[in-house]
Amino acid sequence: MRTSLFLLLVWLVLDRPGIAHAYIDPGTGSYLVQVVLSFVFGGAIALKQILQRLRLVKRSSQTKDGEDDDE
């Protein structure tokens, strides 16, 4: 399952854009692209959390202007 999703991702990246008619159900594609890419997002955030624990990266809850997103 994961392999086919990954291969799909590779294809999606490499294939040059053609004409799309986004009025025909863009929802399915938007839903699935998130699922397909989720291993990227999950991996990135897991890595960030590890680095935070090792104190190599600042805490993510500080936004740029210092405002805290947390409680």
| Interface residue list for another protein (CB under 8 A) | 9, 12-13, 15, 17-22, 24-46, 48, 60, 63-64, 67, 69-71
Q: How far is the CB of 21 from another protein (least distance, A)?
A: 7
CB closer to another protein, 20 vs 56? 20
Q: How far is the CB of 53 from another protein (least distance, A)?
A: 15
Q: How far is the CB of 55 from another protein (least distance, A)?
A: 19
What DSSP letter does each residue of 7-71 carry, written as one string? HHHHHHHHSPP----TTS-HHHHHHHHHHHHHHHHHHHHHHHHHHHHTTSS--TTB-TTS-B---
